[in-house]
Structure 1
Amino acid sequence: TGADHIGSKIFLRVLTVQPDIKAIFGLEKIQQGRLKYDPHFRQHALVYTKTFDFIVQNLEFATKLEEHFVSLGRRHVQYQGRGFDPSYWDTFAECMTQASAHILLLNHLSLIIRDNKKDQRR
């Protein structure tokens, strides 16, 4: 789906921008060009997509989101022993911001093209 594609793109961007993150996900031996085909990568990207979708679907429910993030934090604290550096969240945030800007630009261009087609039919 489109959402899965976006999640995969964001996750791939994270691993491209900061390749040392690959080790945390058990992907350090996978060549960069093969990542998106790897089943472990795809599974992690799917989890990432579902989490992102949950956030978008619950933007109006701050308490629900807070509970989700506290739970997520509890699960992820164990990864500090694997070399997870909390600064990696900055990488995730930056890659999500870049992807969001890219999506907004594509949506804007689609609207312009659609409007131009309407104008040409008149």
Structure 2
Amino acid sequence: MTSKCFQKIFTIAPEVRHAFGIPDSVCDVRYYPPFHRSGRLFISVIDLCIRNIFSLEAEMGPVLVMYGRRHYHRQNQGFRASYLPLFAQCIVGYINEYIDKDSSFEKVLKSWRCLMAYITGKLAEGVELERLRAHSLRRKSAL
């Protein structure tokens, strides 16, 4: 799942590859070991959100905000908060392609949209909090 989702993302926005340090010469991220940690972490976060779905805010909210704060510091490597909706879109797109189209299909897809909106919203919140903190520190050091 991980590599297919990321391949979707990299096809839509090839510049995201650079945020992960993936050289242009790498065609398939499954065969690029330095990326494996990011992929496993990505899936682990989604897995933990699903496992904690009934206490999502209490269990995962702070974790996701912390990851967002960390992502802020990856801007020099090419990370942009504007990529977050793209990640959500590609995950939901992957789910749309690979789940059974039975009677619960629309409900499942809506649930994934809600979960991905929550995850990306918390990550964006963390990015913004860290941006404000960094700005405040710069202002204090200028005084």
The residue aligned with 1:70 is 65
Alpha-carbon separation, structure 2, partners of 1:12 and 1:23: 13
Alpha-carbon separation, structure 1, partners of 2:88 and 2:22: 20
The residue aligned with 2:20 is 25
TM-score (norm 1): 0.72
SS state of the match for residue 88, structure 1?
A: helix
The yes-or-no answer on 1:84 pairing with 2:83 is no
* Equivalent pair of 1:35/1:41 in contact (CA under 8 Å): yes
Q: Aligned to 1:104, which of 99, 102, 112?
A: 99
State the one-letter code of the partner of 1:25.
F
State the one-letter code of the partner of 2:29.
L
* Equivalent pair of 1:13/1:95 in contact (CA under 8 Å): yes
The yes-or-no answer on 1:8 pairing with 2:3 is yes
**Residues 30-73 of structure 1: per-residue CA shift (max 9 Å, x gap):** 332x3321112333211111111111111111221211111111
**Residues 86-119 of structure 1: per-residue CA shift (max 9 Å, x gap):** 110011011011012123236x4xxxxxxxxxxx
Aligned residues: 101
Identity %: 25
TM-score (norm 2): 0.63
Cα distance change, pair 37–11 in 1 and its aligned pair in 2 (3 A)? same
State the one-letter code of the partner of 1:53.
D
SS state of the match for residue 105, structure 1?
A: coil
Q: CA deviation at 1:15?
A: 1.6
**Residues 64-84 of structure 1: per-residue CA shift (max 9 Å, x gap):** 121111111111110122221
SS state of the match for residue 80, structure 2?
A: coil
Alpha-carbon separation, structure 2, partners of 1:85 and 1:23: 11
State the one-letter code of the partner of 2:42.
Y
Q: Which runs of 5+ in 1 are unaligned?
A: 1-5, 109-122
RMSD: 1.7
